[in-house]
Chains A and B, each alone.
Chain A
């Protein structure tokens, strides 16, 4: 018998047993839906995070009290580490392999006001002019902080586009005096916009000279101090491999901290690559969880299909007997029931793909992620569901195929 006929035959069940078919396919639907939704969200995240990580500059070295990630952190031990100082930053900048160094401290400002306008929860950095280059900041209008500002602790600031939008909807911000958590600062420049990351504006930032930061905003001791201690971003000289620069920085810091050869580093060095690795580790965990969820629901779905197919074979024993009496071969019967199982799981898979894409779309709108389901996930989703259909359909189908026509016809 031809394939088209078999397909028509197998689709027949959906018309007669709508609810039953749907419930049977539910496991497959959930499994495929999970895969598609999670993969497209992770893909969307990847895109955003990669954009973010790239903006750090592939050549920048970050030196802090602790490296990013690294799994479990021993906060007691980290607390005992010496803080980075401006002298450390200076020493690093004098390394022959290092070009520019930007020491910076940061914290979150409660609010910035200008007349009756205000913005809250602003990311504030205190740094040096080198931050413009090392931290990838472009000035749109006005100027960046300069060495004179640093030296004389000028109360000047450079602000992001989000702050401009909220404080100065109708006029130029340049030359205006803002109140930063009670301290008065003059706007000397506006930064080019960086857009938003996961729905959060990256332009809600203000940069001030690090010396002014120390005077006006340095947080007290304790956890805050740790978090906001000086971090140094450094750029190697042109032509110097980043690994070489890292080695030099490490050696220098170990010497400055007087660490014996058998002592571990009491500081952390990160690069774009190490940050990317951390992110990859996180997504790998997400993928493993996803695969587990998908595998379990596909297994449950497959068992459901096998169960319902056994029921179908029992229900239709007489039909099978009749078809055999009319000339159906064992293979015809096998294909009929196998295709029915495959169609069941395939339709489930297709619904799962549609729902997964729907969920991804909803999250995309809610979280401002650019979710994207690559074609392979759809193919894998559909392929796996077809596989489940075959694997769990083969036994009921072969049982149907082996039925003795006369006994089947007599079956009540």
Chain B
């Protein structure tokens, strides 16, 4: 089992008001699964993704990643885990504006300590995989939204992570571009990659092999 959570809760404290974002999530994701996370706005989808991505820690409950209890890991081990085992795709792309597409894709490999040559070769390979072979040297401001998201996908897969988490990856794109992005996710899932993505769009979720519905911080189906 790649991901296993046991009754995870996350409560935000805004002023004196406690906002329960996750109210006990128990979830298992297997290696090679392609899952879509759906639910109304505010149901806790992003919060869950952050917890699964080790960017945030749950208020209570336990989380095992590859059978390792996340709560026992220190800062460096968590950074290592995010670097090697987890890939992130954000709704707003989050590319560094001053770096070329290729340099952006290289970032996770940089933190993994990969030598320059290898990094460049792998970045080229990844950009070719998402169909941006001829855009490698472009800066983000010279790319369309769809192209930026494809760079972000290439970056997420850089260190061959165990799982890629995508939070509304098509949220900022028009439907036609969104379909292209989903096709890329589809083919990457076909190749055996584990992918969890958040979406509001039923047709987008239709691409996934499993749909998890979240409401009020709980899994409803």
Contacts and interface: CB of A to CB of B under 8 A. Distances in A.
A409 B113 CA distance: 23
B108 A1 contact: no
A406 B56 contact: yes
Contact of B79 (A319, A328, A406, A409): A328
A288 interface: no
Interface string B94-114: 101010000000011011110
Interface string A398-412: 000000011001000
A329 B94 CA distance: 18
Contact of B76 (A2, A16, A329): A329
Contacts of A406: 50, 55-56
Contacts of A227: none
A326 B107 contact: yes
Q: Which range contains the number of A residues in contact with the other chain? A: 20 to 34
Contact of A325 (B53, B80, B96): B53
B154 to A, nearest CB: 13
A1 B107 contact: no
Contact of B113 (A2, A322, A331): A2
Interface string A370-408: 000000000000000000000000000000000001100
B82 A327 contact: yes
A327 B83 contact: yes
Contacts of A409: 55, 90, 94
A323 interface: yes
Interface string B161-199: 000000000000000000000000000000000000000
Given A405-B55, A406-B56, A326 B76 contact: no
A251 interface: no
B75 A325 contact: no
A329 B84 contact: no
A34 interface: no
Contacts of B76: 329-331
Interface centre among A5, A326, A405, by most chain B C-beta atoms within 10 angstroms, is A326
Contact of B55 (A5, A325, A329, A332): A325
Given A1-B110, A2-B113, A409-B94, A329 B75 contact: yes
A17 to B, nearest CB: 11
A20 to B, nearest CB: 15
Contacts of A16: 98
A329 to B, nearest CB: 4
B155 interface: yes
A243 interface: no
B88 interface: yes
A409 B90 CA distance: 10
Nearest to B99: A12
Contacts of B55: 324-325, 405-406, 409
A325 B113 contact: no
A5 B110 CA distance: 8
A276 interface: no
B65 to A, nearest CB: 14
Contacts of A331: 76
A332 B110 CA distance: 11
Nearest to B78: A329
Nearest to B108: A326
Nearest to B53: A325
A250 interface: no
Contacts of A325: 53, 55, 82, 88, 94
Contacts of B50: 406
A318 interface: yes
A12 to B, nearest CB: 7
A320 to B, nearest CB: 11
B160 to A, nearest CB: 13
A327 B112 contact: yes
B98 A326 contact: no
A324 B82 contact: yes
A328 B111 contact: yes
A329 B113 CA distance: 12
B79 A324 contact: yes
A1 B111 contact: yes
A327 B155 CA distance: 12
A163 to B, nearest CB: 70
Contacts of B155: 326
Interface in B83-139: 83-84, 88, 90, 94, 96, 98, 107-108, 110-113
Interface of A: 1-2, 5, 12, 16, 318-319, 322-332, 405-406, 409
Interface of B: 50, 53, 55-56, 75-76, 79-80, 82-84, 88, 90, 94, 96, 98, 107-108, 110-113, 155, 159
13 contacts: A1-B110, A322-B96, A326-B108, A327-B79, A327-B111, A329-B76, A329-B80, A329-B111, A330-B75, A330-B76, A331-B76, A406-B55, A409-B94
